[in-house]
Amino acid sequence: MSDAIVLQHEGPVGWLIFNRPDVGNAVNADMMTALPLAWRELDEDPGVRRIVLTGRGCAFQTGLIGVHERVGAQRAYERGFVSELVEAERLQERAQELTEQVADQRTSEAKTIKALLWSTMELGR
C-alpha cells in the first residue's frame, strides 16, 4: 500500500488517513490507486464495523490538484457540511467516540447499504 494512505484500527473503528499533509492531502495517481485497496482492506476486516476517513495536517483533502476553494471549519458548519465543531486536539478522540456509538447501531442496515454501494461501484468500472 502507498505511504500516502495510512490504515489504523481502534476497537470497532477503522481509520483511513490521507497522509500527504505537505500538499493539503491532495489526491495524486498513487493515492487513486491505493484508495480502493485501502477501503477493501478495512471492509474485509471482521473487527471493523465503521470507518472514519480523515487527513493528516490542517486539511482533510484539497482535491486532485490542490487549488480548490478552502472552506474553514466555521463555514463548513454554517453550510451544513459538518454537524459539530471540536477543538483540534480533541478531534480524533471525538470522532472515535461518535463512530463507536454508531458502530453498535443498525448493523444489519449498514451491511445492506454497504453491499449496495460496493455493487454500484463495481458496476461503474
Candidates 83, 82, 84, 95; CA nearest to 54 is 95
Rounded-to-integer distance, Cα 110 and Cα 102, Å: 10
pLDDT digits (tens, 9 = 90+) for 79-125: 888 889 999 899 899 999 988 887 776 667 777 777 777 777 676 55
Going 59 to 23 to 99 to 32, the CA torsion angle's sign is positive
Please indicate, yes or no, whether the overall pTM of this predicted structure exceeds 0.75. Answer: no
Spans of all domains in the chain: 5-123
At 60 the pLDDT is 78
* Share of residues in the chain with pLDDT > 70 (%): 89
Mean pLDDT of the chain: 84
Q: Is 112 exposed, middle or buried (0-12, 13-18, 19+ CB in 10 A)?
A: exposed
Architecture in CATH of 5-123: 2-Layer Sandwich (3.30)
Angle at 107 between CA 46 and CA 77, to 5 degrees: 105
